[in-house]
Amino acid sequence: MELEGAYKRPPSPVPCSVQEYTSEELLMLTAVRTLDQRGLRDGRGTSRQQRHKAPLQRAVISTWLSFREIRLFVCLDLLLGSSKALCLPLRVAGQQVGHVPQAVAKRLCQYPSVFSVSQGKEAPAYMELNVQLASWEQRTAAVQEVLQELRDQQAFPCLKEWREELYSVRPYFCDTPLFSMERAATPLLGVKRYGAHLNGYIWQNGQMYMWLARIASNKPTYPGLLDNLAAGGIATGLGVTETLIKECQEEACIPPSLAVQAKPVGTISLPLHRSHRYY
């Protein structure tokens, strides 16, 4: 039964071990090991010398990996021929903040008062925001106007997920935001997105359990799939703690008095490439 007014169903604890890797970690470890050790046997009797002569892609697309695992590696940009190399760096006020896929850059060039492509004599091409847009307010308003028009034109599928929620764009998390933009459009510019994710653990009869939530079936993104106990993106104007408190209330009915007791344990950073989108 789903929680009324919440995005997730009531979580259920499942047994886990502090000595075990998560499935995502195992998949990534397998990918790295397969990429780094070309001489490993692929299950078909090929020798180390033969494997060195074969293309590196064969070391990945082997009996080690399923089709779903290969799709995961493609999304995480772990295979040869990084999609990032096919994107144009996005610069704002001389600082790189994103990676724009070629198809997106072509559309954005139709708005020269906001976006343009520069080509140096020796440096590779890059996309930049008009230098006349000198403040956070000017950049945010100009970019939002372009994105709204692209949304009206149904130019890119991700804009159908429009949230009316702004994400800050900056080179690094602690930097001052250069502008803010609609959350659903961030993949088009390949900017960094940040979130706060909470896991909950309990001990029962000497066994550690981890709480898992299931996303509601009526949610537009990832319906019915397992998720953290509470998690959400960090919107403009909010910090990590504020975001965690908000998400705990919305998704798990955890009161602020309990949410503030959460302990920060680290960060995870990864790229994600899907079709015309680059995270």
Q: Which residues pair with 236 in a beta bridge?
A: none
Mean pLDDT of the chain: 78
Q: What is the DSSP letter of 190?
A: T
- What is the pLDDT, as a whole number, of residue 75? 64
Least confident window among 13-22, 91-100, 157-166, 169-178: 13-22
* Strands (DSSP E) found in the chain: 8-15, 87-92, 95-101, 115-118, 126-129, 166-169, 179-182, 195-198, 201-204, 207-215, 226-227, 230-233, 273-274, 277-278
- What is the pLDDT, as a whole number, of residue 201? 92
| Domain residue limits, the chain | 23-75, 83-180
Query: Mapping DSSP to helix (H, G, I), strand (E, B) and coil, where does residue 217 land?
Result: coil
Q: Higher model confidence: residue 54 or residue 259?
A: 259
Q: What is the DSSP letter of 21?
A: P
Query: What are the DSSP calls for 150-203, one per residue?
Result: HHHTT-SGGGGG--S-EEEE-SSTTSPPSEEEEGGGHHHHT----EEEE--EEE
Q: Higher model confidence: residue 157 or residue 62?
A: 157
pLDDT band at 246 (very low <50, low <70, confident <90, very high): very high
- What is the pLDDT, as a whole number, of residue 7? 45
Distance CA 108, CA 232 (A): 29
Backbone phi, then psi, for 59, in 5-degree steps?
-65, -25
Query: Mapping DSSP to helix (H, G, I), strand (E, B) and coil, where does residue 28 land?
Result: helix
pTM attached to this predicted model: 0.71
Task: Name the burial class of residue 55, with classes exposed (0-12), middle (13-18) and buried (19+) by CB atoms within 10 angstroms of its CB.
Answer: exposed
Q: What are 276's two structure tokens?
A: 């015309």
* Torsion sign, CA atoms 234, 152, 273, 107: negative
| Crossing angle (nearest 10°) for helices 23-36 and 67-75 | 80
- What is the pLDDT, as a whole number, of residue 22? 45
Topology (CATH) of 83-180: Transcription Regulator spoIIAA (3.30.750)
Distance CA 129, CA 271 (A): 23
Residue length of the chain: 279
pLDDT tens-digit readout, 110-159:
999 999 998 766 778 999 999 999 999 999 999 999 999 999 999 999 99
